[in-house]
Amino acid sequence: SPALSRDEHWLFFHSNRSGNMDIWVSYREHTHDDLGWQPPIQLGAAVNSSFEESMGGFFENDDAGTQIYFSSNRPRPSGPGTGFDLYVSDILPDGTMGPARLIVELSSAAADPGMMVGPNGLEAFFYSTRSNAGAFGAADLWTATRATVFDLWSTPWNLGPVLNTAGTDQRPYLSSDRRTLVFASDRPDLGR
C-alpha cells in the first residue's frame, strides 16, 4: 500500500521487515529515477507501535500541512477496539512525525483499514468490515466528507452495490482528477 508524496520525492509504505508491520519512508532525489530510492527508514514511535500499522494515504495542503493517514490495531485511547482503527499523523516542519491521532468519527468496532484522502482533503475513502448501514460483503468500500480540512468527517456511508460485492472490496484510491476510484476486489473475474 504505497503512498507517494505530492512532489513524488517521498514514498510511504508498510512492511514487516523489522518483524512487525510498521510504516516506512524512502526518499529519491530525482522524481524520474525509479532506481534512485534511498534505503527506507522506519517512521518511529510517534506513528509505529508494538502493534500493526498499515499505510493508508498521504495528504498535503497549504492550510492543513502534510499528513499521513494509516490504520493500526493498537488499543484505542478511549477503550478497547476489535480491529484496525483509522489514524492521522502530521509531518512536522523538521521532518519528524507528530503523535498519531485516532479519527474517532470514522473508526468503528470493526476493522477499518486502508483510508486515503482525496486531493482536496474533503473526501475520505476506506474499507471496513462493519456490518451495519447496509453492508454488502466481508469488507466494503466506504466514504465520508468534510466541509474544510479543519472539520470533523461526516458519518461514513457505504458506497453501495455498484462497487461493493459479497466478497472483499478494499484499498480504495481516488485519482488526482477525482473522477476515478481504483480499488482491489476478490470478486469473480467477469472476463472484462
- 114-165 pLDDT, tens digit per residue, is 888 988 899 999 998 887 656 688 889 999 999 999 999 999 999 888 888 8
Q: How far apart are CA 180 and CA 159, in angstroms?
A: 14
Residue 108 has pLDDT above 80, yes or no: yes
Q: What is the mean pLDDT of the chain?
A: 88
Residues 49-91 pLDDT 10s: 999 999 888 899 888 899 999 999 998 766 555 689 999 999 9
d(CA 101, CA 67): 11
Kindly state the cell numbers that stand for 105.
Answer: 468519527
Looking only at Cα atoms, what is the longest distance across the chain?
Answer: 50
